[in-house]
Each structure stands twice: as C-alpha cells, then as structure tokens.
Amino acid sequence: MYKFDAEKVTEELVEWIKDYFEKNGAGCTAVVGISGGKDSSVVAAACAKALGKDRVLGVLMPSGEQADIDYSYDLCKTLDIPHVVINIGTTATAMFDVLGEAAKALGRESISDVTRINTPARLRMTTLYGVAGMCNGRVANTCNLSEDWVGYATKFGDGAGDFSPLSQLTVTEVRAVGRVLGLPSKFVEKTPIDGLCGKTDEENLGFSYETLDEYIREGRCEDTSIKAKIDEMHAKNLHKLQPMPHFDTN
C-alpha cells in the first residue's frame, strides 16, 4: 500500500525551494497568487519557511466581488507576509467586450464558456508576472498533481509559473503538508472552488479528489465509469503538461 511521509516530504520541499532560489534568483522574492485555498496557502507557507516571510509577496486578485476573499487576507495575516490587492474585474470586463465583438465578427452570438472561464485565469498570471517584474520576483505555480492529472488548470493561466512546489503532490498530500507546516485547518480543508464559474472543483470534475488521488497513487477505482472518465480526461489534457511541440530541422 502506498504510504506518504508528510514530515519528510515537507522538509524536502522546503529545501527544494531554498535550492531553487539559490540557483535561479538569489535574493529574489517568491510571488504567490493568494486565493485562500489549500494550494496557494501551502505554497506561501512553504516559501515563507524556506526564504523568510519578507521574501514572499502575496497577490490577491479578485475579479470584481469575491465572496471568500477574507480567507486570502487571513492567510497573509497568519503568515505575516506582505501583500497587494489587484482587482482584475475591470480588465476582464474590457477583455470580454472586445472578445464579444470578435465573436460576432466570426458569426457567433457571444464568447464561449471556455473563453469566459479561462480568460480571467490568464489575466491573473499576467498580473503576477507584472508584479514580479517590479519586485525582482519569481512566480510560484500553485497547481497540484491531482488537478494537473485531469487537466483542471488553464494553460498559460494558473498552469504557468517559474517554479512548481506542488505539481507532484496530490490534493490529499498537499493537505498533509499544510498540516505539517502548521497552517490552520480552515486553509488546508477549505472546499476547493475555482472562483470563476461558481462551482466547486469536485462538482466540475464529477468525482471526488479522494477517489482521484487513490487512483493516481494506487491504481484503484471501483467505479468503472469514473475510472474511464479520469483516463479520458488525463489523455485529452496531457498537452498541458508536456513541452510545446516544435518543428525540428534535424
């Protein structure tokens, strides 16, 4: 049976972050988009432990009104890290307006749901790099293995970044690391929600992270229909994890 040593992995993760910054940005700041959920909370906490709280900058990026933004403020206060708030709502609206005009020119009534959901995620990543450019920063990718496995990330949006602390850890494992780091349970156990379409991750996916994590780590999934769905999603979304295909003259 697969066993996860949260204490050991947490120690190794912190050392990995230290090593990354020593080699790729000595003295640089870790720029972390803060949603108040488990992933950004664990990344911010691990970076603070590795680099010191003054070298971690939290960036809060609501799109208009964000119902659960208090979690983001509370996390920054809990970790005692500096933070800035950049509301992308006006920018997103302006982008939707011009994309709507483009849609009409293409003979469509309006922009697609895919465009409406993914555009804010890409605007947020643009914002993070804009901030990083002003503070000698390195942008943290906060995706985890479970989300990446089924493509639950936006290419060049939350799927981007300079370093990725959690990409080989499942949701279950991320939560375990968060507990080792001493994060309050409200950050570690917060129901995952993308903040864009109004649904929880598991409602969007159609299965629980517990089921997905068990399948990833142990290859077990009793529900054959869910297994087939996971396999299909994984195969369709591998392009998000692989290098961009390129023409080779050799």
Mean pLDDT of 160-171: 98
Banded pLDDT at 196 (limits 50, 70, 90): low
Tokens in use for 212? Answer: 């997905």
**Domain assignments of the chain as residue spans, ordered by start:** 6-240
At 180, the amino acid letter reads V
pLDDT in tens, 125-134: 999 999 999 9
Rounded to 10°, the helix 171-180/38-51 angle is: 40
pLDDT at 69 over 90: yes
Pick the closest to residue 166 from 3, 1, 12, 2 (CA basis): 12
pLDDT in tens, 49-58: 999 999 999 9
Distance CA 109, CA 46 (A): 46
Distance CA 50, CA 56 (A): 10
Distance CA 125, CA 17 (A): 20
Percentage of residues of the chain with pLDDT beyond 70: 98
Q: Does domain 6-240 bear CATH number 2.30.30.100?
A: no
Mean pLDDT of 96-109: 95
Percentage of residues of the chain with pLDDT beyond 90: 89
Tokens in use for 138? Answer: 């390195």
Distance CA 62, CA 218 (A): 37
